[in-house]
Structure 1
Amino acid sequence: MLQFKDDSTFSVQNSFKGFLFNTVEQIHFQSAGNPFYSFILFDEKTSVARLRMTLLIRNSEAYSPLRSPFGSLEFDDNTNIQDINYFLKELENWLVSENLQKVFIVSYPYCYNTRHSELLTHCLLKNGYSISEYDMNFHLQISSNDFDKDLDPAARRRYAKFKDTFQFSIEESPDIEAIFSLIKENREIKGYPVSITSDVLKKLYNSFRENFKVFLLKDGETLIGSAFGVRVSERVLYYYLATDSYSYKKYSPSTILIGHIYNYCRQAGISIFDLGIATSKSVPNFGLIKFKQNMGGKVSLKLSFEKNLLC
């Protein structure tokens, strides 16, 4: 028998391997002092949680997540539509009892688990949620093929010409300030805001070193490209805060960096290299879409949902 309950202490073990962003450590990090509740469907026979979603509460609204790329409901392969619908109905009963006004859910890209995403989307829509954002997410499927096999012809030529020109490294003791300076410089040139401070970036990296890899590309002592690789799960690496030097644009350092990370994924047994979204609140960034397509990126949906609980 399945029971709906609050497990905010994360004392009940999951029957599935969850994503990094929904772990208790990540929830504490992103909560910024806001209260959170982790709800499960608990299987009494096996003493494990078959379904879990954590909500953070702020200003009479519930969020999953509050500051991470996604949160949402995770579950094991034995979960069916009836289980998910029951969970969502019980969850709404709790939300209403707490006088919360609205709930927001950002789900993981479809490529992470297509079947789970399809089930969850169906159930959320059936339970009165609406799709608030529909972003395009791009990923590379890691295979035995060389990285450049699926590159756009022009990108393939540049990659072949310059891939051995610069020094690639996986840095164990990175200079976060130098990396942040390159990120800031790149964002300012392109007119994009910097969504994180150097202090928060340092704290994030130091708190989750086991899940973060720092990839660097240098011309001698000059840093010309960097990216954080976040191990979201055993099979997924997320491309985070990637940047390059505008003065080296003709060499396409981002393409070279992605090629090296692709090879790292292949060696590490990672099957999905998540390049992230190329839209912002559903609005397409056509330049970014073209770049990720030129890298051989495959597109999948990343959906956000919301429900007004006062209706």
Structure 2
Amino acid sequence: MNSKLEVYRFDELEFKDWDDFVDRSYNGTMFHTRRFLNYHPPDRFQDHSLYFQKKEKQYAVFPAASVNEKNGDILHSHPGTTIGSLVTNTSLSLKESFDLVTALVKYAQDENFSGIKITIPPNCYSESMSNHVEFALFKMGFTYVKREVSSVLLLPDTAEEIAKGFKPSHRQAVRKAEKEGVQIRQSTNFEIFYRILENNLSKRHGVSPTHSLKELELLQAIFPNKIILHGAFIKDKMIAGVVSFILNKRVQLAFYISHDENFQEKRALNLLFHKIIKEAIQNEKRIFDFGIFTEDGKPNFGLARFKENFGASGVFRDTLELDLTE
């Protein structure tokens, strides 16, 4: 029986097998599933996702697309997701990691790609932390082309324990929000939240949300138990909200965070995260990711400080690239 790694291009007929593999994998997330990838219009990306097999069994998958850049077509970890990378069915040894990266590079060379670009998740997303694959990428000639920093909170077993890590300023803000009558509850009114989000991003950064309202509602319909909107309300008026993505059984990511600036003094976001983090612990999550506080590598110190008030610390979200034209 052939013990070498064989690489195949993904076929839509294998949709269910792919998602079943990701769901039971060692390091896969919602972003790696076909259910997530396929919400994009079919003409937005040129999908070039890969299957890896060993001894005729699924061994790894790589969500990817062919992206045209100045030197030709790049095999890019899927640009329609926040993170990509290789998903494996188990923790890999160092030798297995090198074998997997070698197979990926050989495939890209055989298909005449001019390079490979991969955005990897923080290694705390995996069942156990390992940098074997990242090390293999580096030793095989990949270079770091982008480094963002995400604020990650390691969750203890109980909500009582997590409170010990909160800064006094955060605890004070939570008490203020409660005294002001702020109420936290889950909501399905993405339209109201989206207006708050859109207004904030336009005013502060001159940009639009990553997803349109229609796309966000579509994703929530696909993942009704994994994409959750928590709103902060004064009576029936939403004044802030957080859209969380449940990435896998370990990790919850705050994908969108926004508040109505007219109610900033109510400290609604502090109370929102206070409740959301407690709920994540009750749901046995081990990691709460507040998202990045960098933009193209430049730090937003105010945003970092806000997240640090909850006891979060920074971890890298790296993008690596290999030039195959040299």
User: What TM-score do you get using the length of structure 2 for normalisation?
Assistant: 0.86
Q: CA deviation at 1:105?
A: 0.7
Partner amino acid for 1:103? I
Partner of 2:8: 6
CA shift in 2, pair 1:286/1:114, >3 Å:
farther
Q: CA deviation at 1:126?
A: 0.7
Cα pair 1:16 1:50 within 8 Å, conserved:
no
Q: CA deviation at 1:116?
A: 5.0
Q: Structure 1: how far apart are the matches of 2:84 and 2:257?
A: 22
Q: Does 1:255 align with 2:270?
A: yes
Q: Structure 1: how far apart are the matches of 2:124 and 2:195?
A: 32
* 1:156-176 alpha-carbon deviations (Å, 9 max, x no partner): 2121232362111112xx222
Q: Structure 2: how far apart are the matches of 1:306 and 1:117?
A: 20
Select between 273-282 and 21-30 the one with higher mean Cα deviation.
Answer: 21-30
Cα pair 1:4 1:39 within 8 Å, conserved:
no
Q: Which runs of 5+ in 1 are unaligned?
A: none
Alignment of 1:210-289 (within 5 A): 210-289=225-304
Partner of 2:99: 86
Partner of 2:202: 188
Q: Does 1:63 align with 2:73?
A: no
* 1:87-140 alpha-carbon deviations (Å, 9 max, x no partner): 222222221222222221111113223965511221110111101111111122
Q: CA deviation at 1:219?
A: 0.4
CA shift in 2, pair 1:266/1:163, >3 Å:
farther
Query: SS of the counterpart of 2:241?
Result: strand
Cα pair 1:6 1:37 within 8 Å, conserved:
no
Partner of 1:41: 52
Q: CA deviation at 1:204?
A: 2.3
Q: CA deviation at 1:276?
A: 0.8
Q: Does 1:169 align with 2:185?
A: yes
Partner amino acid for 1:53? F
Query: SS of the counterpart of 2:311?
Result: coil
Q: Structure 1: how far apart are the matches of 2:57 and 2:200?
A: 46
CA shift in 2, pair 1:148/1:163, >3 Å:
farther
Given candidates 291, 306, 316, the residue that maps to 1:291 is 306
Q: Structure 2: how far apart are the matches of 1:21 and 1:252?
A: 31
Partner amino acid for 2:77? S
Q: Does 1:110 align with 2:123?
A: yes
CA shift in 2, pair 1:127/1:303, >3 Å:
same
Select between 75-84 and 239-248 the one with higher mean Cα deviation.
Answer: 75-84
Partner amino acid for 1:205? Q
Select between 131-140 and 30-39 the one with higher mean Cα deviation.
Answer: 30-39
Query: SS of the counterpart of 2:131?
Result: helix
Q: Does 1:123 align with 2:136?
A: yes
Partner of 1:203: 218
Q: Structure 2: how far apart are the matches of 1:301 and 1:21?
A: 18
Cα pair 1:31 1:66 within 8 Å, conserved:
no
Q: Structure 1: how far apart are the matches of 2:244 and 2:109?
A: 39
Cα pair 1:51 1:73 within 8 Å, conserved:
yes
Cα pair 2:118 2:319 within 8 Å, conserved:
yes
Given candidates 104, 113, 135, the residue that maps to 1:100 is 113
Partner amino acid for 1:255? N
CA shift in 2, pair 1:163/1:309, >3 Å:
farther
* 1:45-72 alpha-carbon deviations (Å, 9 max, x no partner): xx54232212111322222121211010
Select between 68-77 and 141-150 the one with higher mean Cα deviation.
Answer: 141-150
User: Aligned residues: percent identity?
Assistant: 18
Q: CA deviation at 1:85?
A: 1.7
Partner of 2:155: 142
Q: Structure 2: how far apart are the matches of 1:20 and 1:7?
A: 20
Cα pair 1:216 1:227 within 8 Å, conserved:
yes
Q: Structure 1: how far apart are the matches of 2:91 and 2:278?
A: 34
Q: CA deviation at 1:216?
A: 0.9
CA shift in 2, pair 1:32/1:281, >3 Å:
farther
* Number of positions where the alignment pairs a residue of Structure 1 with one of Structure 2: 307
Partner amino acid for 2:8? D
CA shift in 2, pair 1:277/1:186, >3 Å:
same
Q: CA deviation at 1:192?
A: 4.4
Cα pair 2:150 2:293 within 8 Å, conserved:
yes
Q: Which runs of 5+ in 2 are unaligned?
A: none
* 1:239-293 alpha-carbon deviations (Å, 9 max, x no partner): 0111111111122211111011011112211111111111122211111111111
Partner amino acid for 2:7? K
Partner amino acid for 2:10? S
Q: Structure 2: how far apart are the matches of 1:106 and 1:58?
A: 14
